[in-house]
Amino acid sequence: MTSTLLRGRTLSFVSWPETIDDHSAWRYEEDGGLLIRDGRIIAAGAYTQVEKQAGEAAKRIDHRPHLLLPGFIDAHVHFPQMQVIASYGAELLDWLNTFTFPEETKFSNAQHGRRIARLFLDEMVRHGTTTVAAYCSVHKASAEAFFAESHDRNMLNIAGKVMMDRNAPDGVLDTPQSGYDDSKALIAQWHGKGRQLYAITPRFAITSSPQQMEMAGALCREHPGLHMQTHLSENHAEIAFTRELYPWSRDYTDVYEHYGLLGKKSLFGHCIHLSEREADALSDSGSVAVFCPTSNLFLGSGLFDYQRFRRRDKPIRIAAATDVGGGTNYSMLRTMDEGYKVIAQNGEKLNPFQSFWQMTRGNAEALSVAEKIGTLDEGTDADIVVLDARATPAMRLRMETAETLAQELFLLQTLGDDRAVREVYVAGRAAKTDMAI
Ligand code: GUN
Ligand code: ZN
């Protein structure tokens, strides 16, 4: 079996970097090597050491002076919204009704779903993202298209068809029974096939009837290892409508709590306007709040309080995500740049090591997949991004005065995008291609 030996400046995280000087939180090799075989990293460290373990036949690829990091992870994104991104002039509920739901009706056509799934994964990889937690449309065929494409590429992706049976056009509605049956069939067909993972996906409380929420809870009980993903507390009008629809609930989080949807594999997009009680409920259950800064800014939804959630007595697990097409960019670099600004609005800072931890190991931990992805540790899957901090003239110029790794990372986050992504490896295979429309 042939192996591949990558050479470059390797960076991988061990733990949350409390400060910019917390060197124990990461492993950095100025001249690093990664030996890859059968899609896995089998040796990592100083190049001279790793090289000794590579046979004569190993394919050698020299990426110096670029950085090699674990592939980025996007913890919340809607693949059917590639032609919704950049839709002007609305807040969440109007945006859904005016742009998003009509667009998602097109995914009743399986061929359309296959085309967009292919272009979506091309585009994610082109931006350095090797794993997503994706929402498909309500149509079973959209999830089949997504998983088929993901499986063909041997990507580790988490996805599910959205369950939604009210408050949207007929073309994007299922029923409690069909939503349950389709989800069940997709789980049987795709969960655990190669690297594919299924997420039970009730879209949000507004578009699911109480009967459908019951069914979503039943699916979670019947499949306790699966992820559950939904939206929570994004926008004031959404919160008010949810209260009308579930008048018995103590608050928005209580709706999901009531149906048994909180837990360590539960991913809640947005979580902007949470009360202390709701934050406690997420923390107590080990649920994950997903920070979607470009989307939260674009839709005027509000400022996610990242540092408060981390520092409170009962901290909340946090992931970060693009939320395309509410989000405005496919890049996790662009996402964390906006995230930095949002956190600054709350009077706090996120240091560059914390940002890159979040995009890699942090998101892998939040998605409970850190034993497989999110680091460059030996034995993990070889999902790797190659970053060039001199990708554009402005970056090159700024790099003339960057003296430390922290400065280089911050420059990549602030000025970088797909142009800074030189190569991407998915399970050890070079995978970056231009999107072929
Ligand atoms: N809430 C329910 N559906 C959606 C969606 O597609 N995007 C965002 N941003 N919020 C939602
Ligand atoms: Zn979303």
pLDDT in tens, 292-305: 999 999 999 999 99
* DSSP 8-state symbol, 346: T
204: Cβ below 6 Å to ligand 1?
Answer: yes
Q: Supply the pLDDT for residue 149.
A: 98
Distance 100 CA to ligand 1 centre (A): 8
Best residue among 161, 162, 231 to mutate for probing ligand 1, ranked by most atoms within 8 Å of CB: 231
The residue whose C-alpha atom lies closest to atom 3 belonging to ligand 1 is 203
Atom of ligand 1 nearest to the CA of 326: 9
Assign 434 a pLDDT band (cuts: 50, 70, 90): confident
Q: What are the pLDDT digits (tens) for 346-363?
A: 999 999 999 999 999 999
Is any atom of ligand 1 closer than 6 Å to the C-beta of 203?
Answer: yes
The closest-lying atom of ligand 1 relative to the alpha carbon of residue 78 is 6
- Please tell me if the CB atom of residue 100 comes closer than 6 angstroms to any atom of ligand 1: yes
- With the most atoms of ligand 1 within 8 angstroms of its CB, the residue from 79, 92, 166 to mutate is 92
Give CA–CA dist 158/147, Å, rounded: 9
E strand or H helix that includes residue 148 = helix 140-152
Which one-letter DSSP state was computed for residue 400?
A: T
Tell which one of 203, 236, 291, 292 to mutate to probe ligand 1, the residue whose CB is within 8 A of the most ligand atoms: 203
| 295 CA closest ligand 1 atom index | 9
Closest CA to 8 of 42, 44, 41: 44
User: Does residue 78 register a pLDDT over 70?
Assistant: yes
What tokens were used for 135?
């929402």
Nearest to 208 by CA among 255, 155, 269, 153: 255
Q: What is each CA distance from 33 to 10, 38, 57, in whole angstroms?
A: 7, 17, 16
Q: What is the dihedral of CA 289, 190, 382, 292, to 10 degrees?
A: -20
The reported pLDDT for the residue numbered 433 is: 87
* Mean of the per-residue pLDDT values of the chain: 98
pLDDT bracket for residue 422 (50, 70, 90): very high
Return the exposure string of 77-110: e unless at least 16 CB atoms fall within 10 Å of the residue's CB, then b.
bbbbbbebbebeeeebbebbeebbbebbbbbbee
**Which residue minimizes the CA distance to atom 11 of ligand 1?**
231
Q: Which of 50, 66, 67 is nearest to 378 (CA)?
A: 50
Is 306 in contact with 290 (CB distance < 8 Å)?
no
Give the pLDDT mean for 316-337. 98
pLDDT tier at 60 (50, 70, 90 boundaries)?
very high
| Look-up of token digits 């995500």 | 321
Query: Could you give the CA distance from residue 190 to residue 122 in angstroms, rounded to a whole number?
Result: 21
Q: Which pair of structure tokens corresponds to residue 259?
A: 């149906």
The pLDDT score that the predictor gives to residue 63 is 98
Chain-centroid distance, C-alpha 85: 17
Q: Is the CB of 78 under 6 A from ligand 1?
A: yes
Ligand at minimal distance from the CA of 234 is: 1
pLDDT at residue 406 is higher than 70: yes
Distance (Å) from CA 97 to ligand 2 centroid: 14
